[in-house]
Amino acid sequence: MAIAIANPGNRPVKLRVRLAPTMPRRIHTPRGPDRDAALEQYRQRAAVYDWELALLEPIRRRAISMLALRPGDVVFDVGCGTGLSLSMLRQGVGPTGRVVGIEQSPDMVAQARRRVARARWTRVTLMCSPVEAADIRVDADAALFHFTHDILRRPEAIANVVSHLKPGARVVASGLKWAAPWLMRPVNLLVLPAAIRSVTSLDGLDQPWRLLQDRIGQMNVESRLLGGAYIASGVCSPD
């Protein structure tokens, strides 16, 4: 964009100004998630990720409690990141249960593996793979999708997880969402920068659970943070 200004000699001078984009180029709104962008995003965040999510721990605790885990259960931690949910999931399934974490970012899963090694946990399996390509070899009683918006926008990822859930398995998804219209201005001004830092597609942020609900059946949705976050829960219906 060119802007003409006056100088002391009354000769107009044109300045060429380059306007910054309103959001990063790698944020894809109509085309869905961008895996390469996500890998780079979480490569940069891996070392500080735990600190960044500290204030959102009440949502994690509530989401895991809604899984209603029982001793001996198998639970999937879909998009497990650095493994922040592993401790609570292990407590829920007990020493005879099993936790399977799936995470595509090598940098994030490396943090999760160090967490498991430090705690000397057993019966915890971590898979470094895109969710849709994960070679899942066990059927689960429950699945957690915590702050995994890009995964929830991939029907093939959801299909792979759901195909390994037992009939009646409990499913919980949680994360950011656009607030309702009457709260849009103040709340969504906070949601937007948080979303840009953690997702590569803003598509579906009004109802992030919708594609999952299409696969498993009706989900109950709780709003959090004045509508800027959600927890959706449901039960996997038999085919």
Quick one: average pLDDT of 73-100?
97
| Residue 9 within a domain | no
| Residue 175 within a domain | yes
Of 38-42, 223-227, 229-233, give the range with the top mean pLDDT.
229-233
User: What is the reported pLDDT for 183?
Assistant: 66
The first and second tokens of residue 7, run together, are 């100088």
218 vs 42, higher pLDDT = 218
Task: Spell out the long-range contacts of 122-125 with Cβ–Cβ below 8 A and sequence spacing 24 or more.
Answer: 122/95, 123/90, 123/95, 123/96, 123/97, 123/98, 123/99, 124/86, 124/90, 124/98, 124/99, 125/98, 125/99, 125/100, 125/101
| Residue 19 within a domain | no
Quick one: average pLDDT of 142-152?
96
Domain that holds residue 201: 29-235
| Residue 22 within a domain | no
pLDDT band at 239 (very low <50, low <70, confident <90, very high): low
| Residue 5 within a domain | no
Total tally of structural domains belonging to the chain = 1
The CATH number of whichever domain residue 220 belongs to comes to 3.40.50.150
Q: In terms of Cα–Cα distance, which of 226, 209, 208 is closest to 217?
A: 209
Query: Is the per-residue pLDDT at 128 higher than 50?
Result: yes
Query: Is the per-residue pLDDT at 219 higher than 60?
Result: yes
| Residue 222 within a domain | yes
Convert the pLDDT of each residue in 162-210 to its tens digit. Answer: 999 999 999 999 999 999 876 678 899 999 999 888 889 899 999 999 9
Taking all residues of the chain, what is their mean pLDDT, rounded to a whole number? 86
Determine contact, residues 211/153, Cβ cutoff 8 Å: yes
Convert the pLDDT of each residue in 6-65 to its tens digit. Answer: 444 444 444 343 333 333 334 444 467 888 887 787 788 878 877 888 889 999 999 999
Global pTM? 0.84
User: What is the reported pLDDT for 3?
Assistant: 38
| Residue 71 within a domain | yes
| Residue 143 within a domain | yes
